[in-house]
Structure 1
Amino acid sequence: MRWLLLLWLLDLTSISPTPINDDSWIGRAEIVDGDTIRINGSRLRLLDIDAFEMAQNCQDAEGRDYACGLEAMLALDGLIGKQDVRCYGRERDRYRRPLVKCWVGQTEINARMVQQGWALAEYATTYQVDEAVAQRAKVGAWAGTFERPRQWRRRR
């Protein structure tokens, strides 16, 4: 009988509204930009990465401008699709958004955005190796030139 009760309780956790507690969110994600998502109304910022801003342009290998902020958002949307996202994090940024690491299946979204060249390793050393690999491979924005999002925001 205990096993049935335990299984029933475990099943209920899969349909719990998010956040499950103060530091975890699970559910379908709405993409806000290249490093911000919303799960059931909670706006979540991906920890230790900085994606290009929605209004930001970069230059391709031929020096032509393109909307790298939009490309970052589309890359995040492509990673997540219609799958449920699991996010965990205890810290908050200066805007009070939870700072989270997120996964779709076994894929860590934060790392993959840096690996694909649509976000940069910022605020910690967590993804510096991923950034260096993306830079050497010239993937994403690394295929051309850009201003780091942090610097771009400062100028505006």
Structure 2
Amino acid sequence: MIMFSIKFVIFFIFSIFFFSISLIAKDWNPQTYTITDGDTLKRNGIRYRLEGMDAPEINQICTLNNQDWECGLAATLYLEQLHETNGFECEDLGQDRYKRILVRCYILKDDRRMDIASIMVKEGYALAYREYSKDYIDEEELARENKRGLWRSKFIKPWEWRRNKSNKR
């Protein structure tokens, strides 16, 4: 009798697990976007900004071992690579001051929804945008400690780089 109960409990747990996975996959509704840079997407002429993170601008250059490398392009290409998997599913969070729609986007990987901004920051292709959000600070610390992406080089924070560019105009 006890053996039957144990088998039933194990069966029940596995059933719930696989049922929940199938619900996630069934509810998955990705959209296709054009990636314009490491934190901006476009669809049907509308610009979307990944909330809580800031990636280097597409033409931003960083320095690695005294050599220039296109860190902004690298961030853009990494976001494109994530998008190629199966598109993004995004939640609308309102507008920023530039009239872009702020979004939190996800990919489906191994039947799990994964936050794109979290991945970008954790891999070092973007920074936590602390001025506007407290999200992704832990991911940034992890990237810095492991010298991932930008953290393996010398770089100017994207918001400082933009400010320097606008001051030179």
Partners of 2:79 and 2:158 in 1: CA distance: 16
SS of residue paired to 1:88: strand
Match of 1:116 among 113, 123, 132: 123
Q: Which runs of 4+ in 1 moved over 3 A?
A: none
Match of 1:56 among 51, 55, 60: 60
Partners of 2:60 and 2:149 in 1: CA distance: 14
RMSD between superposed Cα atoms in Å: 1.5
Partners of 1:143 and 1:102 in 2: CA distance: 26
1:42 Cα offset (Å)? 2.4
1:79 Cα offset (Å)? 0.9
1:82 Cα offset (Å)? 5.2
**Identity across the alignment (%):** 38
Corresponding residue pairs, total: 132
Q: Are the counterparts in 2 of residues 52 and 69 from structure 1 also a CA contact under 8 Å?
A: yes
In the other structure, the counterpart of 1:3 is none
In the other structure, the counterpart of 2:87 is 84
Partners of 2:87 and 2:59 in 1: CA distance: 28
Q: Which runs of 5+ in 1 are unaligned?
A: 1-13, 15-25
Pair 1:69 & 2:72 matched: yes
Deviations 1:40-87 (A, max 9, x none): 332110001000011110011x12111100000001011111513111
Q: Are the counterparts in 1 of residues 34 and 42 from structure 2 also a CA contact under 8 Å?
A: yes
TM-score under structure 1 normalisation? 0.80
Partners of 1:120 and 1:145 in 2: CA distance: 14
Q: Which runs of 5+ in 2 are unaligned?
A: 1-28
Partners of 1:87 and 1:153 in 2: CA distance: 26
Partners of 1:128 and 1:143 in 2: CA distance: 18
Q: Are the counterparts in 1 of residues 37 and 76 from structure 2 also a CA contact under 8 Å?
A: yes
Higher radius of gyration, 1 or 2: 2
In the other structure, the counterpart of 1:30 is 34
Q: Are the counterparts in 1 of residues 93 and 104 from structure 2 also a CA contact under 8 Å?
A: no
Partners of 2:91 and 2:45 in 1: CA distance: 16
TM-score under structure 2 normalisation? 0.74
1:111 Cα offset (Å)? 0.6
- The structure with the greater share of residues assigned to helix is 2
SS of residue paired to 1:146: coil
Partners of 1:119 and 1:136 in 2: CA distance: 15
